[in-house]
Amino acid sequence: MSSGVGLRSERGPLLLSMMLSMGLIAIDATILSTAVPSIVADIGGFSSFPWLFSIYLLAQSVTVPVYAKLADTLGRKPVMLFGIGVFLLGSLLAGFAWSMGSLVAFRAVQGIGAGAIAPSAMTIVGDIYTVEERARVQGYLSSVWAVAAVIGPALGGGFAQLDAWRWIFFINVPLALIAGALVWRRFEEQAPKQRRRIDYAGATVLTLALSLLILSVLEGGNAWPWVSVPGLLVPAAGIALLALFGAIERRAPEPVLPSWVLTRRLLVTTAMIAFAIGAVMIGLTAFVPTYLEGSRGTAPLVAGFAVATLSIGWPLSSSLVGKLYLRTSFRTAVLCGGALTTVAGLLLALTVESPSVVTVAVLAFFVGAGLGMGSVPAMVAAQSSVAWHARGVVTGAQMFARSAGSAIGVAVLGALANARIAAEGGPRDPQAIVAGTQVVFWAVVVVAALIFAAAALMPRVPVEEAGEAPPAETP
């Protein structure tokens, strides 16, 4: 087995349940994008529809660190089953929503469930697969996000076209039941039996602090101006609560976020890499379709395909990168991924003034390949550096860093693009769209370079020193 904790699992069916569970939350992040007009026509609330996306991302992001600690305290299985159950409940309620307000509230419930599913699935994979196997398995999980990026909007559009948008949520119910049943029946976990104390105060304050900070990033410049009372008060309150959280954690017997997570060089650098990867991913996903549609009138479906290649390159490289880091080191593999991402991003920035679907699709593929090549070794290195009882916290910290990178990245890049577009003639001017996108692409290059820089700061830990033992079973 891969840890000192007893795990008796049929790994094939269990991996299937992890992929299905991740598929649920991945599709729900994108499926609503094409169904919004149909939803608004039915229940109204056009001015509030952006919250359908923001609240889901917010609820998922802020709960990840708490669930990650609970997975180390209570075990992976109960946290995973709880997350699937809450996500199922949120989906069922969302399907019966009677107003935009109720639908936003139920999307928050979905996000709370999704926050438990993502870190638990990644941690379980870290438990039952060896360091040699994880690149291949991480590739499988990454492929779920690739498929979701392609079929999510198409599926949402299909339900909307049939005037059946509520089935966007109802379809989750049988899938969640299957995933939960597989985890319940196939995953036998013998968690440590010692009494563990849960840091309720730290968990509550951390959730509130992260909620306010991410909310300020998501809504700053949209719901309120950056320089305004809420624009300044909301992030200030978040920072104050974060300081309070630090004081609580120094006194807590078993803190939600132990101080060593923020001081170990390997964990800090891999978190920086995850943050930058989240920003690059969301930067291209959010702005490439607008760039192609606004600059040369490309059809939405074709523009979507161009950015979908980003999600195709990711799982392909992540499933193959294991051979590289096994022969060299985690650090070398991440350096190669950072270099590939930076070069491909640079070529995007240099060719932005000559819009081409083919060029964008090819370069987005290589950006995705670089991200996959960097993300998997960084995650595996972080997981392999700690024992079972700390692996959930480490995995959660990495996933939160990526979520925070996405949230902050989309806000910052959006502000930069909008300012340039407004200065160049407005969103109806194709040249203004090109100018705004050029700013985004150059910003992506800078962030991609940060991946390379953080990788260069990683300690050079050989894979064979990760301290992993082979699991008892094979799929």
In 3D space, the residue among 397, 404, 392 whose CA is nearest the CA of residue 120 turns out to be 392
The pLDDT value given to residue 452: 92
What are 131's two structure tokens? 């360091």
What are 200's two structure tokens? 């309720």
Higher per-residue pLDDT: 168 or 30:
168
Kind of pairing, strands 6-9 and 187-190?
Answer: antiparallel
Q: Alpha-carbon distance 338 to 373, whole Å? A: 8
Residue 102 has pLDDT above 80, yes or no: yes
Class of domain 1-187: mainly alpha
- Please, what is the angle between helix 357-384 and helix 134-161, to 10°? 130
Over range 312-333, report the average pLDDT: 84
Over range 27-33, report the average pLDDT: 74
Q: Alpha-carbon distance 125 to 395, whole Å? A: 11
Q: Alpha-carbon distance 139 to 161, whole Å? A: 33
374: exposed, middle or buried (Cβ count in 10 Å: 0-12, 13-18, 19+): buried
State whether CATH 1.20.1250.20 applies to domain 257-468. Answer: yes
Least confident of 46-50, 227-231, 329-333, 390-394: 46-50
Residue 467 has pLDDT above 60, yes or no: no
Q: Check: pTM over 0.85? Answer yes or no.
A: no
The pLDDT value given to residue 3: 44
The pLDDT value given to residue 162: 80
Q: Assess contact for 468 and 294: CB atoms under 8 A.
A: no
Domain extents for the chain? 1-187, 200-253, 257-468
Residue 63 has pLDDT above 80, yes or no: yes
Residues whose CB falls within 8 Å of the CB of residue 150, separated by 6 or more in sequence, listed in order: 304, 308, 311
Domains 1-187 and 257-468 fall in the same CATH topology: yes
Least confident of 5-19, 200-214, 448-462: 5-19
Instruction: Identify the bridge partners of residue 5 per DSSP, sorted by sequence position.
Output: none
The pLDDT value given to residue 195: 55
Residue 400 has pLDDT above 60, yes or no: yes
CA terminus-to-terminus distance, the chain: 13
The secondary structure of the chain, three-state, reads CCCCCEEEECHHHHHHHHHHHHHHHHHHCCHHHHCHHHHHHHHCCHHHCCHHHHHHHHHHHHHHHHHHHHHHHHCHHHHHHHHHHHHHHHHHHHHCCCCHHHHHHHHHHHHHHHHHHHHHHHHHHHHHCCCCCHHHHHHHHHHHHHHHHHHHHHHHHHHHHCCCCCHHHHCHHHHHHHHHHHHHHHEEEECCCCCCCCCHHHHHHHHHHHHHHHHHHHHECCCECCCCHHHHHHHHHHHHHHHHHHHHHHHCCCCCCCHHHHCCHHHHHHHHHHHHHHHHHHHHHHHHHHHHHHHHCCCHHHHHHHHHHHHHHHHHHHHHHHHHHHHCCHHHHHHHHHHHHHHHHHHHHHCCCCCCHHHHHHHHHHHHHHHHHHHHHHHHHHHHCCCHHHHHHHHHHHHHHHHHHHHHHHHHHHHHHHHHHHHHCCCCCHHHHHHHHHHHHHHHHHHHHHHHHHHHHCCCCCHHHCCCCCCCCCC
Q: Assess contact for 434 and 341: CB atoms under 8 A.
A: no
Least confident of 54-58, 99-103, 132-136, 313-317: 132-136
Condensed to tens digits (0 to 9), the pLDDT of residues 233-278 reads: 998 998 999 899 888 888 877 777 777 887 888 999 999 999 999 8
Q: How confident is the model at residue 53 (pLDDT cuts 50, 70, 90)?
A: confident
Condensed to tens digits (0 to 9), the pLDDT of residues 361-392 reads: 999 999 999 998 998 889 888 888 887 677 87
Q: What is the mean pLDDT of the chain?
A: 81
